[in-house]
Structure 1
């Protein structure tokens, strides 16, 4: 049987990478779509040997773009997290790193026309409803990937992409604190369950006998930690109103510790069954919000900024990420917006092929 060819752009977005498709080039049916993405990425093998995945959760991500019918947005961004080995596709979360490449990809695909030296792209994250304003460098009306911006976890420099996230509180659960509490105790561990851009169960590293400064590899080798963390995450998911999350990558899990490298606070972020090699963009917003909120598990781990906007510097395994948070403390912590600087680069384009037995195409 012949194979089915699907046009795509292969991009690095922030500290992740994967294929970017036009939504119209893929099957509408969600089950068939999942099968196509599993085949494209090569899920089912630790090296993704029969697809273009890179054998890690940050390299098995997919973006699907279309012109938006939303009154505010220009582009609809539909995200899929494909598992490395389990042939699973999760359409619930979004990804801020992959989102970093949405503006450039939309221009590459002809969905957006550059407007001067900088082009604003208004993006609606279909999975969560979040709205993000991306500013892409287009000097002389031409898209560029070259520049002087650097981000931890990516070698070299590139053109900056400024992201401003709006209306991200309760994006998945409908509430800033989905359990209604600043702290909950699960399996003897105090956690803060928070939903800002990404729902996360957040704990202190010390409560697991960790410093919070271990490398990603060191934590990944700690099977006892992951077993206990997953038990807490699954129970927290129920309390957050997310149902049975045993096969879902959300809620994610995060650890906090005092900073050591001049940052605001040290963080470790989980995807959730292994340690993120750096930091997720969506996760950074939630962890920064937790750090700024009095009464959470962050209490005592930092000198909490009181003036808005605050530049929250999160230390992570590959370096640091800065989140500019605009908030109001008049009646408890209230997030207005969160801004980050990311980069992206087009790596390849063309057609990806999936077996005709998976999908015959249109």
Structure 2
């Protein structure tokens, strides 16, 4: 045989999609692992023609699962962001949308057995150390995907998956405010550098001459904005103690504007070299925290909820996402946990193949 077959479950998780692997079925050494993932997804071509990637960043994501040796967790979730064209794999960030499918995938792989009509699964994010409690629907002891829950950016409805994120403050940099400032200035633009579930540099859309209500296509066509944004992102990454981030997808970048459709605040999220078609689950937690924190670039853009927990409704390019934030305001904003409702669906399973020249298998 000239190819190595690797078992996988192909799933949509939230507004992202990709293969979910059992970590034991993949190479242990990270350089070889990266080569396998690049080949499996077809990185290096704009439509990933020689792999199972979908040609955009939200469809070139990978989840790797294993039984956890952590006293709290049931399952370890190791995430990889595979680039569409640049043949790069970033193992530093996590992805909350792909995490939406971790519970169902763990059941599909036999790592977790359903318990009653609703199964609670404790997930540890290997990339960031975050703890996530997922509740999935398992009536009669079987994984259920059909349901009535809608999420913006996904057609139709599906069974709800409730996620509660804990331990996400400073998950990448070790600090809520990695620069120790509520606001910094880069290239004359005020930015809040914040690390909640995802390290981010967050600015006001108006400071770039934007409304904040632009479509994904309008933003992606705005090359001058992306050039300015990337310059600021690189400086913010260095200021946040993340070093040279030119080849990393973190920190991500976000824009804020006043809500216009009844939400709490309007947002746009970048991945970072193109515009997210909707909203990342991790980014939503960071943007919601920024919105709730006095003194950040969100000042003047919203009427802040004063009671906890607060339901923060983020307007984004495809609709809205709601984040239920449990927080305290003793000597500044302090996050306890963030809850979101997502959906997922199993799309396929079987084996994905890579040439033996890339990996001969175990």
Shared fold (TM-score greater than 0.5)?
Answer: yes
Cα distance in 2 between the residues matched to 1:208 and 1:355: 46
Matches within 5 A, 1:128-277: 128-277=128-277
Cα distance in 2 between the residues matched to 1:236 and 1:322: 27
- Summarize deviations over 1:43-99 as a string: whole Å, max 9, x none: 000000000000000000000000000000000000000000000000000000000
CA positional deviation for 1:141? 1.1
RMSD of equivalent CA atoms:
0.5
CA positional deviation for 1:142? 1.0
Partner of 1:357: 357
- Summarize deviations over 1:264-296 as a string: whole Å, max 9, x none: 000000000000000000000000000000000
- Summarize deviations over 1:167-196 as a string: whole Å, max 9, x none: 100000000000000000000000000000
Partner of 1:305: 305
CA positional deviation for 1:140? 1.4
Cα distance in 2 between the residues matched to 1:118 and 1:249: 35
Cα distance in 2 between the residues matched to 1:253 and 1:140: 43
Cα distance in 2 between the residues matched to 1:132 and 1:19: 20
Structure 1-normalised TM-score?
1.00
Cα distance in 2 between the residues matched to 1:147 and 1:47: 31
Partner of 2:45: 45
Cα distance in 2 between the residues matched to 1:11 and 1:278: 18
Point out where structure 2 has 5 or more consecutive residues left out of the alignment. none
Cα distance in 2 between the residues matched to 1:76 and 1:135: 16
CA positional deviation for 1:330? 2.1
Cα distance in 2 between the residues matched to 1:72 and 1:330: 28
Q: Give the aligned length.
A: 362
Cα distance in 2 between the residues matched to 1:327 and 1:299: 18
Matches within 5 A, 1:69-80: 69-80=69-80
Cα distance in 2 between the residues matched to 1:206 and 1:302: 14
Please give the secondary structure, in 1, of the residue aligned with 2:152: coil
Point out where structure 1 has 5 or more consecutive residues left out of the alignment. none
Is 1:291 aligned with 2:291? Answer: yes
Cα distance in 1 between the residues matched to 2:355 and 2:85: 18
Q: Which runs of 4+ in 1 moved over 3 A?
A: none
Structure 2-normalised TM-score?
1.00
Cα distance in 2 between the residues matched to 1:208 and 1:140: 53
- Summarize deviations over 1:316-354 as a string: whole Å, max 9, x none: 000000000000012210000000000000000000000
